[in-house]
Structure 1
Amino acid sequence: MTAKTFNDTFLKACRGEATEHVPVWYMRQAGRYQPEYRAIRAKHSFFEMNYIPEVCAEVTRLPVEQLGVDAAILFADIMTPLKPIGVDVNIESGIGPVIANPIESLKDVERLLELDPETHVPYILESIKILRQQLSVPLIGFAGAPFTLASYLIEGGPSKHYHKTKAFMYTEPVAWQALMEKLGDMTITYLKAQIKAGAQAVQVFDSWVGALNDEDYREYITPVMTRIFNALKDTGVPTIYFGIGAGHLLMDWNRLPVDVVGLDWRTSITTAREMGVTKTLQGNLDPTLLLAPWEKLEAKAKEILDEGTKQPGFIFNLGHGVFPDAKVETLQQLTKFIHRYKRDI
């Protein structure tokens, strides 16, 4: 049996190198839009799918085989490392993460344990090892960023405005700093363990940090994010940072020691470059366009590709994750279009 040729296009783009085609992967590319995923999910709870490495590997690998994308992202949740450190969290259908013991004080922060990946999440590390034997594309590990994790821990679940989180940040500065320290340490430990197990890139999801203005971001968040990305530098693995509605923070992100900046659909690639962002960019198709007629989807994809390929250092992705109403066939067609596309000079 001949070994598959390893496709390192994604890793080259992360490093800002020229590539023969534009690499593409999709956030939440393993999910309920896939009939195969739904069949597996019918047999297991979300966390059970994490706890069984063979199942986790299968779900992670499926979109690579099905869509032909240039990278796999580990199937897990940003809540995964929180359960073993003392957070009573469940993923509830139609809601998302729900925390039974939200943080309200410094004492609540102090009760959080330190993460020991080999003891607490061995199933995640085993899944990564299995996938490295199976994949012919890079495997992306990931973690939630401290602010986004804190928002769930303090609000008790998803929020639209993050009033409790920001109020805690403003009124409990000692507790907030302690929480950022603990979550920062956990993120570093978790990602380093994933890299040691075989992850070839890592993405930090700061999904809800766009709720902060730029001054508050610099005061309350920049220090911990700088520490996280500096701590990962010596691994030699590319790092990606992504959030929603955070266009006003892009230059702050550009100053971080991170390799790739992810864009949502609200800020164009051209706008990001004109602002002065020099990092590799990843993004940024509005996932709703996956429901549009192909002509409309193709035109917007072409626009993004034309903007992104004006210089090396571009990875095609969505501006947020694939949602259940999307069709496998649409993503297959889009992936082929991206791979075949040559920018009009």
Structure 2
Amino acid sequence: MKNNLFLDAAFSKSTERPPVWMMRQAGRFMPEYWEIKNKYSFLEMCKTPEIAADVTMLPVDLLGIDAAILFSDILVTGEAMGGDLSFTQGVGPKFSNPVQSMADVDKLDIDVLPKLQYVADAIKVVQQRLNGSIPLIGFAGAPFTVMSYLVEGGSSKDFKKTKLLIHNHPDIAHKLLGKIAAVTTDYLNMQIEAGVNALQIFDSWALSLAWNDYNEFSHRYIQQIISNLNRKDIPIISFCKGSSVFAPMMAEAKPDVISIDWNADLLNIKKILPSGIAVQGNLDPHVLYADKAVIKKTIIQLFERMRDEKGFIFNLGHGIMPDIPFDNVKYAVEVVKEFRY
């Protein structure tokens, strides 16, 4: 690997500066993304390896980041299991056959790797194009988050159906989560075999859960997945909205990196985590709307706070919003790359 910064930081080694990549870095804030998106549906983009590779490479070519992340979606596992998935502009993802009963759970398939082969194919195309320049991150949605979409039938503000399921029918919830966890483990191991250099698990909606519910319905399944990954030389990053609250429990699953949302002081979190677990984050993405002087000042403040720490990857506390100016994102990357400890 020509640029080892990301992998070194993920394994808590010293680096000359923090490596940088950003969640949703290959996305809607780029005009070049829309040139592709206007020709194909979102699922066509995900399922056509050459197109997925084109989108994956946009931030590599245009931003010069230190790690690429595969262009895909966390819900491809739910679709492969039997969810009828569609994406509508301005609405987001929809499953037209939401899971409502034990019978619905029983119908879901777990032997789904052939249906996800397009992801492995995309990884191989991307790695040919990267040619060892920077690492490629693969990913999957965490079981609770994927379950919430399958149960709600799409996005939700209050997760009412999901919470009713875990409270009134925990047996159904656990059977569903167990199936998703089995699929997710196989899926991530397939990505490792196809050639990714790191993996991130996204639990986008964990913050909707109370502490005990997070423990029972999310954490235990992430722990199960991580313990069954072929992770030799492959750092595992665990991210959730709510990581500023749940980080001590997340550490019990033994990821290599915990990605922290923007609600916490990153150094304080680092100091309460076991030695050898790196942190990733945690700039509030809204800062990228601000003037460039503000962007630089905020990033440098974070870096000065983390100055003597091994195991720090610069990222956002969540993903880039679609209307953030591209020039501001590019400037933020330049600020990071100019910094030296």
* TM-score of the two chains, using structure 2 as the length reference: 0.95
Could you tell me which runs of 5 or more consecutive residues in structure 2 were left unpaired when the two chains were aligned: none
Asked whether 1:124 is paired with 2:119, we answer yes
Q: Does structure 1 retain, via aligned residues, the 8 Å contact 2:78–2:150? A: no
What percentage of residue pairs aligned between the two structures are identical?
Answer: 38
| Distance change (3 Å), C-alpha of 1:167 and 1:39 | same
Q: Taking structure 1 as reference, are residues 320 and 297 closer, same or farther at Cα in structure 2, changes over 3 Å only? A: same
Q: Count residues in correspondence.
A: 338
The correspondence for 2:255, drawn from 253, 258, 270, is 258
127, 130, 133: which one aligns with 2:128:
133
User: Given that residues 50 and 56 in structure 1 are in contact (C-alpha distance below 8 angstroms), is that contact kept between their aligned partners in structure 2?
Assistant: yes
Q: Deviation at 1:281?
A: 0.4
1:107-161 alpha-carbon deviations (Å, 9 max, x no partner): 11111011432x2022111110011111111000000000001111111111112
Instruction: Output one character per residue of 1:30-50: Cα deviation in whole Å (capped at 9) or x when no partner.
Output: 111111110000000001011
Deviating more after overlay: 65-74 vs 296-305: 296-305
Which amino acid in the other structure matches residue 259 of structure 2?
G
CA contact (8 A) 1:280 1:314 kept: yes
TM alignment of 1:165-314, pairs within 5 A = 165-276=162-273, 278=275, 279-314=277-312
Q: Give the whole-Å Cα distance in 2 for the aligned partners of 1:226 and 1:139.
A: 23
Structure 1 vs Structure 2 CA RMSD: 1.4
Contact persistence 2:136–2:196 (CA under 8 A): yes
Q: Are 1:342 and 2:337 matched, yes or no?
A: no
Residue aligning to 1:323 = 321
Inter-partner Cα distance in structure 2 for 1:219 and 1:53:
36
Task: Judge conservation of contact 1:250–1:277 (CA < 8 Å) in 2.
Answer: no
Change (3 A) 1:234 1:53: closer
Partners in 1 of 2:120 and 2:26 — Cα distance?
18
Which of 94, 97, 102 aligns to 1:106? It is 102
C-alpha distance in structure 2 between counterparts of 1:38 and 1:134, whole Å: 21
Partner residue of 2:3?
7
User: SS where residue 332 of structure 1 aligns?
Assistant: helix
Return structure 1 stretches of 4+ with deviation > 3 angstroms.
233-236, 274-278
SS of residue in 2 equivalent to 1:232: coil
Secondary structure of residue in 2 paired with 1:126? helix
8 Å CA contact 1:67–1:328 kept in 2: the answer is no
Find 1:154's aligned residue among 137, 151, 156.
Answer: 151
Alpha-carbon offset, residue 54 of structure 1? 0.9
Equivalent AA in structure 2 for residue 122 of structure 1: Q
Asked whether the equivalents of residues 115 and 190 of structure 1 are also in contact (C-alpha less than 8 Å), the reply is: no
Structure 1 Cα separation of the partners of residues 315 and 50 of structure 2: 27
| Residues 28 and 234 of structure 1: CA distance in aligned 2, closer, same or farther (over 3 Å) | closer
Judge conservation of contact 2:10–2:278 (CA < 8 Å) in 1: yes
List per-residue Cα deviations over 1:15-62 (Å, max 9, x = no partner).
Answer: 000112210001000111111110000000001011211111011011
Tell me by how many angstroms 1:234 deviates.
4.3
Equivalents in 1 of 2:263, 2:231: separation in Å?
Answer: 33
| Letter matched to residue 171 of structure 1 | N
Give the TM-score taking structure 1 as reference length. Answer: 0.94
| Contact 1:143-1:205 within 8 A present in 2 as well | yes
Structure 1 distance, partners of 2:9, 2:106, is: 41
1:234–1:64 Cα change, 3 Å: closer
Q: Select the residue among 47, 60, 64 that pairs with 1:51.
A: 47
Three-state SS of the structure 2 residue aligned to 1:205 is strand
* 1:277 Cα deviation after fit: 5.5
Instruction: Report the Cα offset of residue 233 of structure 1.
Output: 5.0
Correspondence for 1:94? 90
Contact 2:189–2:230 at 8 Å: present in 1 too?
no
